[in-house]
Chain A
């Protein structure tokens, strides 16, 4: 057996080990063992005998394996012991030498969302990545994050990931695959029968590799497809500029924003950054003095719409008419619809507003809208002079992608069914589930001899593939990606592949005939070629540390032609009847996160629905069709139909059924089983986003939906205090109107030392839920499952309350994040019979889990209902990988114990120890709670309210600052900055 240094450096790669062993002529007993260790039969035995160890088979060579086997028999829980990557990866702030036990180390890396890179900092403890947050140095996040980013650790440790190379349902090894590949590639010839289907790809190194592959097999084709890809945006640009340029927005400069069905706070690439810039301008006392104003006209109720000053929900098909009317009023050469359009009452005031805003105006169109609407938006921006200020155009970030995903996939499907395709390689894509119904992709796959899929789990595509290769998670592999604005950042692994997964780079390399090529080498060599000049080792080191390659944002298209709207044609005839509308899901996106329990149990921002999607209807539509919540509906579109449960949602447009993607999946895990309804069954490549001619019939049976929020209004209780800018200027003290000073029998003990407090800015909160998942990941909060959510036993320590104001037909939305208020006169503490909850000297309302006997009296007496009880043993102590996921600084709670937000006391203490070690007080902003870090809009601020100069204290001194239910005399430490909206006085919103 080889024991040279080279092997130490090698990743623990069974295939590589086996290669060496084959060449080796060692002593007999070694050979016999080798054969044993290499035979799949042996692996099967192991899998049966030691399921936990089996997961390691891929990653450990035989010797490590035997070692591990011995050790693990004594102490199980191996996945936690997978060694830190042996490749040279660099911590963000400190060199790796100071990897102290218990001291978390941060690594700068990148995570992908539909190919677009989002810079992150990954927290690892003892080689285990446990937390993902935004990288402040990365333009796409600026330190903020979204739910998908926050939920990645669970995805990494998902015990249901694909753990072995599978060939027709039998476990094989990477070696077997590469051998098979060798013989396969032999008869590819010019590659006429070779097709590669990938998700959106922005990775320069991967694109380069693809180039090489396509050079080697000139007749091969590479298709990029994602069901939520940016197609219409590019097509729209193509329409007006003759090129598929990609728009990049700058909300920090936008004073008046008109969003045409564009959910830019969630669905657009760069939404995290957009959220930040948008939030900064939402403040009544904002950065440059002016508060921005958002008009939203949309075809479903979106998160962005819920934050608008003026919101109009219409059938998506009506929006083009509206856009044309605006364009016409702004003097653009476009045929405006005759007669009234949806939103007629807005037109004059809106156009005036846009005109006066001039270059400060921003008009954007959502992916759901056809190219024409995008074209209009671009033209309007250009006409207003906004281009170059609030919006820029760059070459598509997914290099060479022209927004033709659906047509390309259609062609591919046709080729496949015609038998023209002999080998199909699928990367980062699950077409068997996501492909539109009309392509009949599954059937087409049947016609392909060899389907090679790089899969995270045995999903719909993998089960149909001849070869399913375990994909390395983006936290396990090397790579690079470009952000929404083109900025390039590096993906560096924070742990060895748990299940011997391969990255796309490595798979393509194998296709190119380098079966043992390693991602690290491939990436490094690529960049060595790119970054000329200077000492590469140093540059490399530096960019790994920063996570971002400086100045790689794509330059705006210099000479942008004047938009020509000639190609637009006439306004399509107004469609009558009902429309089906699709949207990417707020918690599972397009289905790639459906097996992630954190996201499954995350209440969707507006419907507060968990574990399912549903057919959303407006109350009026529901009444018209005599539908009640939970009715099973049969949705007929054309010759296709599907079933879905109805959920009545105020704010949805009338005569529309809104259905989100990503649910109703069949393969790939137990979490996704039986959750939701598959929209792709009626989704067509021709009309992937909305389609008229919907027929709704009411089924017989009922379906139980699990929502965490059963009530819509605030019942006239001043929980969320909000007003309009005008009114605020008149009465800056409005937040305290009619407030009674709660009297207390007991004197106010004056605060000494640190007094921790929190301020939550309701002007900034966009309801995105990032804080909820961040808290879940930081504090080891278990998920409880759908049936428990139905029983009202969800465990989130921070929740986002959503209320509707105004009528059910034209509601306005407000969000209110509610963590523990850490009341100074805490009602929960006085009723606890065992002093399990008490007050710390620094004002934190603490839980002593060991002492808690579970009377639940505290929860009853908590007016904010933020206490969570372990009705069962929710914490998973059996699955090893779930243990590896846990934050070692936070106790895992067992059955019968009450728990709640602790202001991330573990972080407070860490900071205190640090400060005391350095003999200084804790600085302001040194302690950041998990929710605070995650918040993309910095709505949450935590700090010492005793320090007159702390940010949180300053916020609490604002006249807008108020305490929730403060009249009860609880003296909450968590307070809110009241909400001020900025509607256009010229527009009278009818209720």
Chain B
């Protein structure tokens, strides 16, 4: 491989992308890359792959807390709105029922718990995944575009990882049983 080529590419290099055929290979490779001290890397798969999360030592997603928060807000505000409306803001004698008819508030309270929980969740997803994000350097790889969302698995190490040294990293990746390693422009 022509080093000079690599040299002048270096500036606008996003990183290296290794391609695998099976999810198991990807998981194994990922584990090795992590052990090798790399941190700024990511794995890409056409469907969720068991064990990948552990291999990358990713913290488990904070989604549950976000959804919980949303649900609580929904519940409190829902019940509060109804109580405020029927007791304070617009008290009416409705069929001789007490102003504070809390049992009647429950269905709406419940629905709002669900609704705001779901909204919070989706908002959270967009926040953590930085979605919508139509452009990403990996899309510069025609091969990635042709396979990543269908039948192949990729491991990408970013150039600005402190451990990143083109040759060494490239060698490492080739040892990982990848079928092909390519460079990705930034």
- Assembled-state Cα–Cα distance A835/B94 (Å): 8
B95: Cβ under 8 A from any A Cβ: yes
B96 near A749: Cβ-Cβ < 8 Å: yes
A838 near B97: Cβ-Cβ < 8 Å: no
A986: Cβ under 8 A from any B Cβ: no
B46: Cβ under 8 A from any A Cβ: no
B92 near A746: Cβ-Cβ < 8 Å: no
A829: Cβ under 8 A from any B Cβ: yes
B96 near A824: Cβ-Cβ < 8 Å: yes
Chain B nearest CB, measured from A850 CB (Å): 15
A391: Cβ under 8 A from any B Cβ: no
B98: Cβ under 8 A from any A Cβ: yes
A839: Cβ under 8 A from any B Cβ: yes
A830 near B94: Cβ-Cβ < 8 Å: yes
B96 neighbours in A (Cβ, 8 Å): 746, 749, 824-826, 839, 971
Give the interface size bracket for A toward B: 10 to 19
B97 neighbours in A (Cβ, 8 Å): 746, 825, 830
B93: Cβ under 8 A from any A Cβ: yes
A841: Cβ under 8 A from any B Cβ: yes
A827: Cβ under 8 A from any B Cβ: yes
A825 near B93: Cβ-Cβ < 8 Å: no
B94 neighbours in A (Cβ, 8 Å): 829-830, 832, 835, 838-839
Q: Considering only CB atoms, which chain B residue lies closest to A744 in the complex?
A: B96
Interface string of A800-830 (1 = CB under 8 A from B): 0000000000000000000000011111111
A824 neighbours in B (Cβ, 8 Å): 96
A841 neighbours in B (Cβ, 8 Å): 93
- Assembled-state Cα–Cα distance A826/B92 (Å): 13
- Assembled-state Cα–Cα distance A746/B104 (Å): 14
Q: Considering only CB atoms, which chain B residue lies closest to A829 in the complex?
A: B95
A835 near B92: Cβ-Cβ < 8 Å: yes
Q: Considering only CB atoms, which chain B residue lies closest to A748 in the complex?
A: B96
A746 near B93: Cβ-Cβ < 8 Å: no
- Assembled-state Cα–Cα distance A691/B95 (Å): 58
A839 neighbours in B (Cβ, 8 Å): 92-96
Interface string of B82-110 (1 = CB under 8 A from A): 00000000101111111000000000000
B95 neighbours in A (Cβ, 8 Å): 823, 825-830, 839
- Assembled-state Cα–Cα distance A824/B95 (Å): 6
- Assembled-state Cα–Cα distance A828/B95 (Å): 7
A838 near B92: Cβ-Cβ < 8 Å: yes
In chain B, residues 142-171, which have Cβ atoms closer than 8 Å to a Cβ of chain A? none
Interface string of B58-98 (1 = CB under 8 A from A): 00000000000000000000000000000000101111111
Q: Considering only CB atoms, which chain B residue lies closest to A747 in the complex?
A: B98
B98 near A838: Cβ-Cβ < 8 Å: no
Chain B nearest CB, measured from A173 CB (Å): 60
- Assembled-state Cα–Cα distance A823/B97 (Å): 12
Chain B nearest CB, measured from A836 CB (Å): 11
A749 neighbours in B (Cβ, 8 Å): 96
- Assembled-state Cα–Cα distance A825/B97 (Å): 7
Residue in B90, B92, B94, B98 with the greatest tally of chain A CB atoms within 10 Å:
B94
Interface string of A827-867 (1 = CB under 8 A from B): 11110100100111100000000000000000000000000
Q: Considering only CB atoms, which chain B residue lies closest to A827 in the complex?
A: B95
A840 neighbours in B (Cβ, 8 Å): 93
Q: Considering only CB atoms, which chain A residue lies closest to B96 in the complex?
A: A825
A827 neighbours in B (Cβ, 8 Å): 95
- Assembled-state Cα–Cα distance A823/B95 (Å): 8
- Assembled-state Cα–Cα distance A823/B92 (Å): 15
Chain A nearest CB, measured from B8 CB (Å): 72
B90 neighbours in A (Cβ, 8 Å): 835
- Assembled-state Cα–Cα distance A825/B98 (Å): 11
A823 neighbours in B (Cβ, 8 Å): 95
- Assembled-state Cα–Cα distance A841/B91 (Å): 12
- Assembled-state Cα–Cα distance A826/B96 (Å): 7
Chain B nearest CB, measured from A945 CB (Å): 15
- Assembled-state Cα–Cα distance A839/B90 (Å): 13
A832 neighbours in B (Cβ, 8 Å): 94
- Assembled-state Cα–Cα distance A841/B93 (Å): 8
A829 neighbours in B (Cβ, 8 Å): 94-95
Q: Considering only CB atoms, which chain A residue lies closest to B103 in the complex?
A: A745
- Assembled-state Cα–Cα distance A746/B94 (Å): 12
- Assembled-state Cα–Cα distance A318/B90 (Å): 69
Chain A nearest CB, measured from B84 CB (Å): 15
- Assembled-state Cα–Cα distance A749/B97 (Å): 10
- Assembled-state Cα–Cα distance A830/B95 (Å): 6
A971 neighbours in B (Cβ, 8 Å): 96
Residue in B90, B95, B98 with the greatest tally of chain A CB atoms within 10 Å:
B95
Q: Considering only CB atoms, which chain B residue lies closest to A840 in the complex?
A: B93
Q: Considering only CB atoms, which chain A residue lies closest to B85 in the complex?
A: A835
- Assembled-state Cα–Cα distance A11/B92 (Å): 54
Q: Considering only CB atoms, which chain B residue lies closest to A838 in the complex?
A: B92
- Assembled-state Cα–Cα distance A368/B181 (Å): 115
A746 neighbours in B (Cβ, 8 Å): 96-98
Q: Considering only CB atoms, which chain B residue lies closest to A832 in the complex?
A: B94
B98 neighbours in A (Cβ, 8 Å): 746
- Assembled-state Cα–Cα distance A838/B95 (Å): 7
Chain B nearest CB, measured from A808 CB (Å): 40
In chain A, residues 38-61, which have Cβ atoms closer than 8 Å to a Cβ of chain B? none
- Assembled-state Cα–Cα distance A830/B86 (Å): 12
- Assembled-state Cα–Cα distance A109/B113 (Å): 69
B93 neighbours in A (Cβ, 8 Å): 838-841
Residue in B90, B92, B93, B96 with the greatest tally of chain A CB atoms within 10 Å:
B96
Chain A nearest CB, measured from B155 CB (Å): 57
Interface string of B3-25 (1 = CB under 8 A from A): 00000000000000000000000
Chain B nearest CB, measured from A562 CB (Å): 68
A830 neighbours in B (Cβ, 8 Å): 94-95, 97
- Assembled-state Cα–Cα distance A778/B138 (Å): 81
- Assembled-state Cα–Cα distance A749/B99 (Å): 12
- Assembled-state Cα–Cα distance A825/B95 (Å): 4
B92 neighbours in A (Cβ, 8 Å): 835, 838-839
- Assembled-state Cα–Cα distance A749/B91 (Å): 15
- Assembled-state Cα–Cα distance A259/B93 (Å): 52
Chain B nearest CB, measured from A749 CB (Å): 7
- Assembled-state Cα–Cα distance A971/B94 (Å): 14
A826 neighbours in B (Cβ, 8 Å): 95-96
Chain A nearest CB, measured from B104 CB (Å): 8
A825 neighbours in B (Cβ, 8 Å): 95-97
Residue in B90, B93, B97 with the greatest tally of chain A CB atoms within 10 Å:
B93
Chain A nearest CB, measured from B26 CB (Å): 56
Chain B nearest CB, measured from A80 CB (Å): 37
Chain B nearest CB, measured from A586 CB (Å): 38
- Assembled-state Cα–Cα distance A830/B90 (Å): 15
Chain B nearest CB, measured from A869 CB (Å): 19
Chain B nearest CB, measured from A758 CB (Å): 18
Q: Considering only CB atoms, which chain A residue lies closest to B93 in the complex?
A: A839
- Assembled-state Cα–Cα distance A839/B91 (Å): 11
Interface string of B109-148 (1 = CB under 8 A from A): 0000000000000000000000000000000000000000
- Assembled-state Cα–Cα distance A746/B97 (Å): 7
- Assembled-state Cα–Cα distance A967/B96 (Å): 17
Q: Considering only CB atoms, which chain B residue lies closest to A823 in the complex?
A: B95
- Assembled-state Cα–Cα distance A832/B95 (Å): 10
Q: Considering only CB atoms, which chain A residue lies closest to B98 in the complex?
A: A746
Chain A nearest CB, measured from B96 CB (Å): 4
List 8 other contacts, CB 8 Å, given A746-B98, A825-B95, A838-B93. Answer: A746-B97, A826-B95, A832-B94, A835-B92, A838-B94, A839-B95, A839-B96, A840-B93
Q: 28 A-B residue contacts at CB 8 Å?
A: A746-B96, A746-B97, A746-B98, A749-B96, A823-B95, A825-B95, A825-B97, A826-B95, A826-B96, A827-B95, A828-B95, A829-B94, A829-B95, A830-B94, A830-B97, A832-B94, A835-B90, A835-B92, A835-B94, A838-B92, A838-B93, A838-B94, A839-B92, A839-B93, A839-B94, A839-B96, A840-B93, A971-B96
Closest CB pairs A-B (n = 5): A829-B95, A839-B93, A830-B95, A826-B95, A825-B96
Q: Enumerate chain A interface residues (CB-CB to B < 8 A).
A: 746, 749, 823-830, 832, 835, 838-841, 971
Q: Enumerate chain B interface residues (CB-CB to A < 8 A).
A: 90, 92-98
